[in-house]
Amino acid sequence: MRKKYTEEMHVMEKQISGLKNQIAELQGEAAVLREHQEKLDCKYNDEKNKLKMSFDEEKANLQELLRQEHEEDVRARLEQVNEKFSQEREELIQNGVWVEEKMRVLVQTLQEEKGELERGFHEQLKRMAEVHALEKEELQQELLRKHERALEEER
């Protein structure tokens, strides 16, 4: 029994020794894996930082592009507004010229009509003066005849 026990102990010691060797190997592998893990973490952080920098740079580029596009849009709209303003201003100037011409024509027409009315009034006044003069002369002649008759009757 002792022999059996010794053999079992010997087998177990071999197994324990094998397990210790395995543990030592596993601990070595674990150290290598931890070191590898640390390297991978560093590499991951480096890649992450590079990606973040790349993302930030791309973001800045896109923001600049958007700003430039917005500026171009604003310039284009401003140009359109200025062009429309110029067109409307030109139309107003043309309308002003047209209105001035119309006013000049109307004033000239009114002056001509006023001149015609004044001539007509003066002619009418002249005719009335002539008629009045004729009537006055007739009345004077009639008065003279009546006076002469009255004198003849008195004699």
Q: Is 81 a member of any domain? A: yes
Number of domains in the chain: 1
pLDDT digits (tens, 9 = 90+) for 12-42: 999 999 999 999 999 999 999 999 999 999 9
**Structural domain range at position 92:** 1-114
Q: Is 137 a member of any domain? A: no
Q: Is 134 a member of any domain? A: no
Q: Is 13 a member of any domain? A: yes
Q: Is 149 a member of any domain? A: no
Find the DSSP H helices in the chain: 2-154
pLDDT digits (tens, 9 = 90+) for 88-120: 999 999 999 999 999 999 999 999 999 999 999
Work out the number of other CB atoms within 10 angstroms of the CB of residue 97: 10
Q: Is 31 a member of any domain? A: yes
Q: Is 120 a member of any domain? A: no
In the block, tokens 């931890």 appear at 34
Q: In terms of Cα–Cα distance, which of 127, 151, 147, 128 is closest to 139?
A: 147
Q: Is 154 a member of any domain? A: no
pLDDT digits (tens, 9 = 90+) for 34-71: 999 999 999 999 999 999 999 999 999 999 999 999 99
